[in-house]
Amino acid sequence: MNLVSVERDWVIVVARSDTTALRTMNSQMRRIDLVFVVEYFTIAKVYYQVPELQHPKTTPPIVPQNEEQQTRQNAWASFKKAVQKTFSDLRLYFTHPAFAPSFSIALLYCTVLSFGGVMVTYLLASGYTSAQIAALRTVSVTLEVLATWIGPWLMKRIGPVRAGLWFLSWELGCLVIGVSIFWRYADNVLVSTLGLVCGSMLSRIGLWGVDLSAQVIIQEEVEAEKRGAFSAVEASWQNVFEMCSYTSTIIFSSPSQFHNPTALSVTAVFFAWLLYSSFVKKRRGHLVHWPTCMSPEKQQATIDELFEAGPSRRREGL
């Protein structure tokens, strides 16, 4: 409910097309989500204070059925209608311009490299105490909250599309380093787990940064009447990939096999990076934003000047 209605719809209505206000509220919502548990009463208060939230969304007119058709509806007809609606929502999701950033975020849910139940259980099995894990988790949450300030700051300077790529690259880099240490020093539990934990904690900045960036893109590009269907499908894929992470720990249930779920997690982030990179390339025409002095055009012009200046210098020497 929070993802589909509040984060994907209410915030846009309250912001009233103000991009700065939208990004600020997104970061504040994420901060509240990370720090506070009880939010129902505040959500209800906002709903009744903003009349626009109570207005129904404009949808295409539905041709009413006559009474005879309505009386003939049965369980099969209802099931068929539900299936058609599901395929219609899936078609909307996969063909929408905002699909790539949305699905990239969903892929990030296929991970065991967070301070959830799976990783906590592994750390306990590796000899960490509950107090040590609590301290590490506190640091991780602090970095996550920090990302809610870094995200809007970076988006303001380079835009949400490029900011998302920067954050996702940061997350992938941190996880690759952490998992590499975990695999390389597998015989040293202290070093391997410490490398994995540090990489995972630092990657949280990138995770929530790209989440905020993708959220802004989705909010700005998905039409008002389609936000509910789009966000519902997105949430479904997030749950699917989260189930995949749990399934990996069922298959590889021994602590000695934990390196397999970590490899799956990094692979999911890598594919998310590829998908988001293709979106950036398609949207901007290039992946890396070179400085003016390092742009391919500038480099080619410099080479041409050198070739043209070479013969004239030789003639001057004669």
Prediction pTM value: 0.76
d(CA 155, CA 176): 25
Phi, psi of 146 (to 5 degrees): -60, -35
pLDDT at position 249, please?
93
pLDDT at position 104, please?
95
Mean pLDDT, each 10-residue run in order, the chain (318 residues): 57 65 68 60 58 59 54 69 86 92 95 90 91 93 91 90 94 96 92 94 94 90 84 92 94 92 96 95 75 57 62 54
d(CA 279, CA 105): 13
CA proximity to 199, closest of 211, 213, 185, 212: 185
* Chain CA centroid to CA 53, Å: 26
Count of C-beta atoms within a 10 Å radius of residue 309: 10
pLDDT at position 297, please?
58
CA proximity to 175, closest of 275, 107, 267, 272: 267
Query: Are the beta carbons of 69 and 183 closer than 8 angstroms?
Result: no
d(CA 46, CA 186): 51
d(CA 15, CA 27): 13
The token duo for 137 is 């988790």
pLDDT at position 81, please?
82
Hey, what long-range contacts does 80-86 have (CB within 8 A, 24 or more apart)?
none
pLDDT at position 86, please?
87
Contacts of 191 (CB under 8 A, 6+ apart): 181, 185
**Residue 103, burial from CB neighbour count under 10 angstroms (0-12, 13-18, 19+):** buried
